Amino acid sequence: MNTECMNVFLQELSKRYPKSFLLIVHDGAPCHSKTALSIPENMMIVTLPPHSPELNPTENIWEDVREKFFQNLVFDSLDALEDRLASACNFYEQHPKIVQSITGWKWIVNY
Q: What is the mean pLDDT of the chain?
A: 89
What pLDDT, on a 0 to 100 scale, did the predictor assign at position 22?
Answer: 93
pLDDT above 90 for 75: yes
Q: Are residues 24 and 60 in the same domain?
A: no
Helix (H) or strand (E) holding 103: helix 96-103
Q: Are residues 30 and 75 in the same domain?
A: no
Residues 6+ apart with CB under 8 A from 106: none
What pLDDT, on a 0 to 100 scale, did the predictor assign at position 44?
Answer: 92
Rounded Cα distance, 15 and 25, in Å: 18
The pLDDT tens digits of the residues spanning 18-53 come to 999 998 888 877 777 777 889 999 999 888 888 887
Q: Are residues 105 and 61 in the same domain?
A: yes
Average confidence (pLDDT) over 84-102 = 94
CB 40 within 8 A of CB 14: yes
What pLDDT, on a 0 to 100 scale, did the predictor assign at position 98?
Answer: 95
What pLDDT, on a 0 to 100 scale, did the predictor assign at position 87?
Answer: 96
Host domain of residue 34: 1-52
For the chain, the domain total comes to 2
Q: Are residues 101 and 60 in the same domain?
A: yes
Question: pLDDT class for 54, splitting at 50, 70, 90?
Answer: confident
What pLDDT, on a 0 to 100 scale, did the predictor assign at position 85?
Answer: 95
Q: Which is more confidently placed, 1 or 94?
A: 94
What pLDDT, on a 0 to 100 scale, did the predictor assign at position 90?
Answer: 95
